[in-house]
Amino acid sequence: MGRYTGAKHRVSRRFAENLWGTKKSPLATRPYKPGQHGKDGKRTKISTYGAGMIEKQKVKFYYQLRERSFRRYYQEALRLPGNTGETLMQMLERRLDNIIYRLGFAPTNRAARQLVAHGHVRVNGKKVDRASFLVSVGDKVSIKDQSKAHIQVQEAIGAKPQVVSYLKADPEKLEGELIQIPKRKDIPVIANERLIIEFLGR
């Protein structure tokens, strides 16, 4: 399966969860899955295998990953010490495109990916155009001077988003920094990583 490029709201309705926390989500008025039996909740019982697959798909959609890329992160998380599920989520959260989104320099994570890919982002003063680049604690992330007037950047800054606790942002200079590895409880992603690890480990 390739990377999903469709509507976010469609994905949220599929899982009956507002995955991105968007204010205009249709789940505000229709808090159920689409389809004939979405509203009445008459669905077949989901197996442990099925639940794991659903959780994996949710995280893939959220971070816009292909299957191969997602499994590479899983293999790396297995290799590292600590809780594999939490390590997996920490790695995904430290992706450069996600950091740009969390800093509030892009209105969506998809827009953040485009900013990175088109060379508008600097890490420690150097251009990095790989969305998968893992930001380390202490790294300075910024929008290059020539791109600070970019319409998507200005749209994001104008919304004055709340920045997560593990990042420090300067919206005036369009600079930010990862100040600590995020703890799972602080990562605003709705997912059960334990089920994901069990699913991938089969």
Q: Mind listing the domains of the chain with CATH numbers? A: 8-92+188-200 (1.10.1050.10), 95-180 (3.10.290.10)
The span from the CA of 85 to the CA of 195, in Å, is: 9
Among 70, 131, 56, 75, which Cα is nearest to 98's? 131
Alpha-carbon span 105 to 153, nearest angstrom:
5
Name the percent of the chain lying above pLDDT 90.
74
The share of the chain scoring above pLDDT 70, in percent, equals: 78
Q: What beta strand segments (E) does the chain contain?
A: 121-123, 126-127, 140-143, 167-170, 175-178
pTM comes to: 0.82
Look-up: residue for tokens 């893939």?
60
- Chain segment 133-151, per-residue pLDDT in tens: 999 999 999 999 999 999 9
Q: What is the pLDDT of residues 11-57, one digit of tens each?
A: 655 556 666 555 565 555 565 555 555 555 555 688 999 999 999 99
For residue range 65-81, what is the model confidence (pLDDT) as tens digits?
Answer: 999 999 999 999 999 99
